[in-house]
Structure 1
Amino acid sequence: MPVKIGLVGLNGIGNLHAACYQEEELADLVAVCDVVKERADAAAEKYGVKAYYSLKDMIEHEPDIEVVDITTGGIDNGSWHFEPAMEAVGYGKHVLIEKPICHDVREARELVAFAEKQKVYIGCNLNHYFTEPAAKAKQYVDGGDIGELVYCMAKMGFNGGVDNYGLAGSPKVKGHPYFHMKAFLTHPFSVIRHFCGDITHIQTFSDRPGFRRSAGDVMVSINSIHMKFANGGVGYLLSQRGDAAYGLGGWWSLEMAGSKGTFCIENCVEKVSYWRAEKGIPAISKQPEPEVTDFGTTNFDRTFNNRLRAFLEDVSAGVPRDQLRANGRDALAVLEYTFAVIESYERGGELVRPHPLPPLHGDPLFMR
């Protein structure tokens, strides 16, 4: 049976989610909600569903809704997530939230704990690893073709430079120094953690270029982040928000190197290369030819379809809450890393240990 969904927030991302649900056989979009009446009405007409202007009214008039999908935005693209998510969880509904899970890490901790108490699913749109290249790379990892983690290097951001720059005018962005960190680092951190596990230490050297300073732009847009993983490996993440042309590897690249092999994903959805560590490889000189799997995909928006389907599959199957893909605890982890970056920056590049995640207790209905 299709999962009945109520969608909250009908700006760009909300409409993208709605369009995905229209294509998805596991989804039954029954209602949309936005405090801006015109947006809710337009979406309701477009998708053939009922419009509401408060979450309370939507849930009380549509009691069969099983999932509330929250695609609101706000400051740093996340300050309007917490209240509707808490309200939906309070009604006992499963919740899917756009990233970041919350604008403030204290709110995220409270939300994840409340969802656990209510025994409902809470997921986040960590869509960057719901791709064919990521699935292929995970096969290398799970099949033992990478071995023990040595290092991970990620580079994600936006093409740009001084000639493409314009001071943001939106109050959701302008005047907020950590917009890029909170709005964007969720994605690279989620992919890094998906492959490499939990991060135990973080240090950043972050800043903004002179042309931003001259314009009065306070956004800390350049982030050079060093990491240590629980399994002993090390990592590096470079992220910037349109301050330079991106160069080799495109706008998105992730390289994971281990004792038995190395993979590199380029441009998120496009291709993955794998180099096997074999006896007799020259220490420097010529590198062996990699195994390259090019999926011929350039449409990043399909990651939304993939991620939303995965959530609906897990809800329909009734998987244990801690096995829900891209769940609330996963989203909380990457927000903890983001706030560790902020703390390191504010302390002049000091080493920071992220706040520990809530312990896993296991579900007695599944652990027998």
Structure 2
Amino acid sequence: MALKIGIVGLNGIGNHHARCYQNEELADLVAVCDVVKERADEAAAKYGVKAYYSVAEMIEGEPDLQVVDITTGGIDNGSWHFEPAMQAIGYGKHVLVEKPLGHDIHEARELVAFAEKKKVYLGCNLNHYFTPPADKAKQYVDNGEVGELVYCLHKMGFNGGEENYAPAGSPKVKGHPYFHMKAFLTHPFSVMRYFCGDITHVQTFSDRPGFRRSAGDVMVSINSIHVKFANGGVGYLLSQRGDAVYGLGGWWSFEMAGTKGTFTIENCVEKVSYWKAAKGIPAISVQPEPEVTDFGTNDFDQTFNNRLHAFLEDIENGVPREQLRANGRDALAVLEYTFAVIESYERGGEVVRPHALPPLHGDPLAMK
């Protein structure tokens, strides 16, 4: 049965979500909401739904509304998430929040705690591992074909370089040194955590290139991040915001290596390769032939459809809240890592331990 949905925030991402819902059998988009009246009205006409200009007005005007999708942005792409999400949860609605979960870590913690108190589903659009290559790679992990984690390497960011640079004009970006960290690191950290588990230690060396300095751009756009996982493995994340052109692997590549095998995912949605750590393989020079599964697409936009479908499917199936895929606690975890990155940078590269996550209590009706 289709779930009745209202979208809050009808700029680019909000419209993208709306188009996804129009092609989703589990979705019934019934309302749109934006404080900018013209945006709400235009979206309402486009999707054949009713326009509202405040969250309370939308929820009270749509008594059958079940899900509120928060696609607002704000400073660092997240400062307008907290208030509408808290309002919707206060009304007892299930909520999906665009990434990052929040702009302020204290607000994010409060949001997750409030959703737990109200016993509603809180999800976040951590869409980068809702892909066929990620599913295939997870099979390798779950089947024991990777073994004990040795390391992971992740590159994710934007191609660019000095010739492509233009100073940001938006007040949501300009003058905010941690825009890239807060707006983007949620994605690569979510992928690393999905495959490798919780991160216990973070160390970063970050900076910005000379052309940004000359332009008076304060964004800390180059992030070199070393992590340790709870299972003892180590990882490395490189993310930069258009300061260079990526080489091998392109803008998105992930490699996980274990004692029994290694896999890589290229271009998020494109393909996965697996190398088995078989007896007798050459130690150097000659690389074994991998098992390659090519999914024949470069269409990154499919990740939105996949992730939104999974959120609605989990609600429809009534999964325990802690088993909701890409839930609020998952989104809080990767935001805690981001704030640990910021702290490490501010301390000159010191090792930082991310703030502990709230404990899991479990639903007594589901855990029998």
Taking structure 2 as the reference length, what is the TM-score of the superposition?
A: 1.00
Q: Offset at 1:129?
A: 0.2
Partner residue of 2:365? 365
| 1:113 CA displacement | 0.2
- Matches of 1:3 and 1:93 in 2, distance apart? 12
**Partner residue of 2:302?**
302
Q: What is the alpha-carbon distance in structure 2 between the residues aligned to residue 63 and residue 203 of structure 1? A: 48
In structure 2, how many angstroms separate the alpha carbons of the residues matched to 1:15 and 1:241?
24
Where does residue 111 of structure 2 map in the other structure? 111
Which amino acid letter does the alignment assign opposite residue 151 of structure 1? Y
Matched, 1:213 2:213: yes
- Corresponding residue for residue 314 of structure 1: 314
Whole-angstrom distance in 2 between the partners of 1:294 and 1:261? 18
Q: Answer yes or no: is 1:288 the counterpart of 2:288.
A: yes
Task: For residue 194 of structure 1, report the CA deviation from its aligned partner.
Answer: 0.2
Deviation at 1:200, TM superposition (A): 0.1
CA distance in 1, matches of 2:21, 2:353: 39
SS in 2 for 1:159: coil
- 1:282 deviates by 1.1
Q: In the alignment, residue 347 of structure 2 is paired with which amino acid? A: R
Task: Name the counterpart of 1:170.
Answer: 170
* Amino acid in the other structure paired with 1:328: G
Matched AA of 1:69:
D
User: CA separation in 2, counterparts of 1:298 and 1:37?
Assistant: 36
- 2:131 is aligned with what amino acid? T
Q: Deviations over 1:167-209 (max 9, x none)?
A: 0000000000000000000000000000000000000000000
Counterpart of 2:139?
A: 139
- Following the alignment from structure 2 to structure 1, what is the Cα–Cα distance between the partners of residues 104 and 302? 29
1:197 maps to amino acid = G
Please name the residue that 1:34 is paired with. Answer: 34
Match of 1:263 in 2: 263
Shift of residue 63, structure 1, vs aligned partner: 1.1
What's the offset of the Cα at 1:110? 0.3
- Counterpart of 1:361 in structure 2: which amino acid? H
Q: What is residue 52 of structure 2 aligned with on the other side?
A: 52
Q: 2:192 — aligned with what?
A: 192
State the AA in 2 paired with 1:63: P
Which residue does 2:149 correspond to in 1?
Answer: 149
- Inter-partner Cα distance in structure 2 for 1:366 and 1:97: 25
Q: What is residue 123 of structure 1 aligned with on the other side?
A: 123
Partner of 2:99 in structure 1? 99
Amino acid at match of 1:278: A
Report the alpha carbon displacement of residue 303 of structure 1 after superposing the two structures with TM. 0.4
| d(CA) in 1 for partners of 2:328, 2:220 | 26
SS of aligned partner of 2:303: helix
SS at match of 1:286: coil
- The equivalences for 1:65-80 within 5 A come to 65-80=65-80
Structure 1: distance between partners of 2:23 and 2:244 = 37
Distance in 1 of aligned mates of 2:277 and 2:7: 48
Q: Residues of 1 paired with 2:101 and 2:59: CA distance?
A: 21
Deviation at 1:285, TM superposition (A): 1.9
Could you tell me which amino acid in structure 2 is paired with residue 114 of structure 1? F
CA shift, 1:350, in A, is 0.3
Aligned residues: 368
Distance 1:286 1:54 in 2: 62
1:125-169: CA deviations, max 9, x gaps?
Answer: 000000010000000000100000000000001100000000000
Give the drift of 1:211: 0.4
Distance across 2 between alignment mates of 1:155 and 1:79: 26
Q: Alpha-carbon deviation of 1:287?
A: 1.1
Distance 1:349 1:181 in 2: 15
Partner of residue 248, structure 1: 248
Stretches of structure 2 lacking an aligned partner (at least 5 in a row): none
**Partners of 1:53 and 1:84 in 2: how far apart?**
12
Please report how far the alpha carbon of residue 107 of structure 1 lies from its aligned counterpart in structure 2 after TM superposition: 0.3
Distance 2:155 2:183 in 1: 16
CA displacement, residues 272-317 of structure 1 (integer Å, 9 cap, x when unaligned):
0000000001111211100000101111011000000000000000
Structure 1 ranges of 4+ moved more than 3 A:
none
1:40 CA displacement: 0.3
TM-score with structure 1 length normalisation?
1.00
Partner letter of residue 316 of structure 2?
A: S
Cα distance in structure 1, aligned partners of 2:278 and 2:246: 32
Instruction: State the secondary structure of the residue aligned to 1:152.
Output: strand
Aligned to 2:17: 17
Q: Counterparts of 1:74 and 1:296 in 2: how far apart (Å)?
A: 36
User: What one-letter code is carried by the residue in structure 1 that aligns with 2:129?
Assistant: Y
Q: Distance in 1 between matches of 2:353 and 2:248?
A: 31
